[in-house]
Amino acid sequence: MSTTHDTRTSDPFGATGEPVEGAVYTASGQDWTEIADRQAERGDERIVVNMGPQHPSTHGVLRLILEMEGESVLEARCGIGYLHTGIEKNMEFRNWTQGVTFCTRMDYLAPIFQEVAYCLSVERLLGIEEQVPEKATTMRVLLMELNRISSHLVCIATGGMEIGALTVMTIGFRDREMILDAFELITGLRMNHAFVRPGGVANDLPDNAIAKLRDTVAWLKKHLPEYASFCNANPIFLRRLSGVGHMDLAGCMALGLTGPVLRSTGYDWDLRKKQPYCGYETYDFDVPTWDTADAYGRFRVRQDEMWQSLRIVEQCIERLEGMVGQPVMVADSKIAWPAQLSIGPDGMGNSNEHIKHIMGESMEALIHHFKLVTEGFRVPTGQAYVPIEHPRGELGAHLVSDGGTRPYRAHFRDPSFANLQAMPILCEGGMISDVVVAVASLDPVMGGVDR
């Protein structure tokens, strides 16, 4: 349904008493003919362009409603909600551990970060933050930083594809495959892992994981310089990105923009340094910034961040080499799911030795394990919000417990949702050819926006 208003009497998006002029369109899907017909009646040179949600150059199912005169964008508005999955509401009907399986599917390019933010909030409610084994925390950092690199690679790859730099796209996905291979070895899955769990992680590292990780680091060290060679001084790349999508520090602070968008203004705000979690204060790394506050600056920040993440990954590997055999889940059996599982000869089921082990214990232990998995543990009444530094900015999980085995409420502060507020400011007054570049520089992922 769509409606138009004579703005001399009403504007649903304007402040009370605000002077307005022209026509206001309220669009909510499957209404394009009506909007186009009403616009044609105005008889001026403005046209309304419906860009998306099935446009090859939009990031996911994002609808952009652009009011244009010639090729200049006069007004721009986002239309979201096409990917809505009801993840946050669904989490209210599953136990606390099962919630990881839902939130990992929000931002599908950075699933590890949703898992960690959620589990940190659950652990704060349980009061077990200090009990999480050091090896589990180190594995979380390792996976997050690898995931940060893979997420930035997709941003750079798709951003390059959208302006015609197809080689950047092909090498971006080539390098990301190496990281996904490492994820598959460690977690069993290439995405939507549900590997981080309240109290630790699901499983210990496989025996060959360290060697595989070292190969992955060596590969990335060899190939990451290619992005600088292809793009940094490329005159076409520079002209397409420099000065496009400008957003200064004051604008970022006013709209709550974080991540590379904020750091491209020269402000080194990074929660890993400013509000450390998971022991980040013990790692040696820098926070890259740029000073142009435009699409090119955001590209350079992401490029530099991949190198810093690689530094952290190397430090994690060194630490994990000295932690062989250490636990990866809290010792409290009333919270911890089994994390030391033996795999059967088919590579899928449990081995005979593991089955004998769990069945050979007391009947009470078996009943307790059954209740822990089916019903879940209880979390004390309260609420918690733990923010972390996601590839796109601040990600936080706000969880409310009523003392039961399921969240009373779960809500995520997703950086893509907050950063999309900047879209009209980045695009209005520019050319339609710059809209794709400006939106791509925000790196929005609609799975996180439409939760």
Q: Is the pLDDT of residue 228 over 70?
A: yes
Nearest Cα neighbor of 125 from 331, 400, 414 is: 400
Q: pLDDT tier at 7 (50, 70, 90 boundaries)?
A: very low
Give me the pLDDT at residue 161, please: 82
Task: For the domain covering 87-335+377-449, report its CATH number.
Answer: 1.10.645.10
Cis peptide before 53 (omega within 30 of 0): yes
Query: Would you list the DSSP string of 275-311?
Result: S--TTGGGS-------SS-SHHHHHHHHHHHHHHHHH
pLDDT in tens, 335-379: 877 655 555 556 555 566 666 666 666 666 677 777 777 888 888
Query: Is the predicted pLDDT of residue 6 greater than 70, yes or no?
Result: no
124-181 residue pLDDT tens: 998 888 888 999 999 999 999 999 999 999 988 888 888 877 888 899 899 999 999 9
- pLDDT tens digit string along 392-441? 999 999 999 998 889 999 999 999 999 998 888 888 888 888 888 888 88
Provide the 10 A C-beta neighbour count for residue 246.
Answer: 19
Tell me what pLDDT residue 408 has.
93
Contacts of 222 (CB under 8 A, 6+ apart): none
pLDDT at 212 over 70: yes
Average pLDDT along the chain: 83
The CA distance from 274 to 249, in Å, is 18
Residue among 167, 300, 307 nearest 238 (CA): 300
How sure is the predictor about 9, in pLDDT bands with cuts at 50, 70 and 90?
very low
pLDDT tens-digit series, residues 188-203? 888 888 889 998 888 8
Say whether pLDDT at 8 is over 50: no
Q: Where are the domain boundaries for CATH 1.10.645.10 in the chain?
A: 87-335+377-449
Whether the CB-CB separation of 105 and 446 falls below 8 Å is answered with no
Q: Are the beta carbons of 159 and 441 closer than 8 angstroms? A: yes
- Structure pTM? 0.84
Instruction: Kindly give the residue spans of alpha helices, DSSP state H, lying in 81-133.
Output: 87-90, 99-103, 111-126
Residue 153: alpha-carbon gap to chain centroid: 13
Mean pLDDT, rounded, for 215-219: 92
Which pLDDT does position 73 carry in this prediction?
86
- pLDDT tens digits for range 303-331: 999 999 999 999 999 999 888 888 888 88
